[in-house]
Structures are given as structure tokens and as C-alpha cells.
Chains A and B, each alone.
Chain A
Amino acid sequence: GQQVMQIPQYQHVQEGEDFTTYCNSSTTLSNIQWYKQRPGGHPVFLIQLVKSGEVKKQKRLTFQFGEAKKNSSLHITATQTTDVGTYFCAGTNDYKLSFGAGTTVTVRA
């Protein structure tokens, strides 16, 4: 079964607001990856975090890997309608990549 849990499952955001989605694992991960899937589309790789406490930014998106390498977060500032979609985290443990169930984001204009 899945080793990686994501919360919340759904996120309804007012355009312009910030939100955060979280990813948690019961085991230590060697890396964490984040993907975005637009409605009707396929997952697209966004970023990979490897180091404990690592923080990376892509424009309005901030990705963080926890100190214990068991959790991660994705924070989006000033949400836009282009941010609509499902965000998946995926963690590597024992040479296997496990995907979380995703956070589906809708935006109110």
C-alpha cells in the first residue's frame, strides 16, 4: 500500500490567497518529488528534494523537505487560476517511488 499520505485531499482557494499542501511518510525517504496534473492531463514533474531541511522555490511555489526526511510541503502564494489541478508528492524508500493520493486544487475567481 501507499507509504506516503497527502493532506488535504481537496483544497478550494480564493484567487490571490495562499495555501499549503502536506505530504507525510512513516519511513525516512531518500528523496521527495512533486508533480502537477492538470484536469484531463498527465502528471508533470515539478521538482525533487534530496537534502534534509531543503527548500526550493519556483516562482510562487515553495517546496520544503523536513529535517527528518519524513515530510514535505508545497506552499503556493497568490493563487492563480493556472494553479488548478492535482498536486502529487512521491517519496523514494527502499528503491521504490510511492505516490501520495494527491491534493486537488480548485480556484474561485
Chain B
Amino acid sequence: DAGITQSPRHKVTETGTPVTLRCHQTENHRYMYWYRQDPGHGLRLIHYSYGVKDTDKGEVSDGYSVSRSKTEDFLLTLESATSSQTSVYFCATSLRGENYGYTFGSGTRLTVV
């Protein structure tokens, strides 16, 4: 969707290095989410935000941190990348949270070697 931009689209990084993925939205949605998608696991929530500077952990938050300094931007940081973090990462936004449909970005394919 044109309203959500994820960058980079693809990244290869080495084990132990920090990595930051960016999600930028022009929807003015209050809620933003980071998911990872792996075969057989569907979409698993890493972290989410319910407003500027308001964030919380999801079900697979270990090794990840997030920041949201502006409504439009939600950053996901892998503090020290590991091979188990090789995945496709999706950002999503929602106008009213979990009782409203989510809009997903195009994803970032991250490979940790």
C-alpha cells in the first residue's frame, strides 16, 4: 500500500551487527506493529505502538527494540543480529487497533549470515 513504506526492502547483514528497519506511514494511524513471518508460523507480533513514545512487547520481542518518536515512523532495531532473525519483517498500521483491519507494508527481507 502506498501509505506504508518499509525500508530497506532487502538486507543482508552479518551476525552480531545491529540492524534498523524503518516503517513510514502517511495514513495518520495511531497504532503500528512489527511482525515477522516465517514458514509454518504465520505472522508473529514483535512489538507494537499505540501512540508516539508508547510501545509494548509482542510474543517474540527478545533481541528486538523499537522506537516511535513521530506518528509517521516506527523503527525496529535488532540489537545484535543472529541467524534466527533471518525472516521477512512486516510493518502494519491500524486506525483503531486490534478491532479494526490492519494495513501492511510491503515487507523487508532480512538475511543474517
Which residues, 73 to 107 on A, are CB-close (under 8 Å) to B? 88, 90, 92, 95-97, 99-102
Contact A101 B107 (CB under 8 A): no
Which residues, 7 to 46 on A, are CB-close (under 8 Å) to B? 9, 30-31, 33, 35, 41-45
Cα distance, A75 to B45, chains bound together (Å):
27
User: Please, which residue of chain B has its CB at the minimum distance from the CB of A33?
Assistant: B101
- Chain A residues closer than 8 Å to B99, beta-carbon distance: 30-31, 48, 92
- Chain B residues closer than 8 Å to A1, beta-carbon distance: 59
Q: Decide if the interface of chain B is mainly helix, strand, loop or mixed.
A: mixed
Interface size on A, residues (CB 8 A): 24
Interface presence of A62 (CB below 8 A):
no
Which residues, 32 to 66 on A, are CB-close (under 8 Å) to B? 33, 35, 41-45, 48
Q: For the complex formed, measure the closest distance between the CB of B53 and the CB atoms of chain A, giving whole angstroms.
A: 20
- Chain B residues closer than 8 Å to A99, beta-carbon distance: 35, 42-44
- Chain A residues closer than 8 Å to B90, beta-carbon distance: 42-43
The CB with the most chain B CB atoms within 10 A, among A31, A33, A99, is that of A99
Contact A102 B42 (CB under 8 A): yes
Interface presence of B104 (CB below 8 A):
yes
The CB with the most chain A CB atoms within 10 A, among B45, B102, B107, is that of B102
Residue interface mask B26-49, A partner, CB < 8 A = 1: 000000000100001111110000
User: Please, which residue of chain A has its CB at the minimum distance from the CB of B106?
Assistant: A42
- Chain B residues closer than 8 Å to A44, beta-carbon distance: 104
Which residues, 77 to 113 on B, are CB-close (under 8 Å) to A? 90, 92, 97-107
Residue interface mask B64-81, A partner, CB < 8 A = 1: 000000000000000000
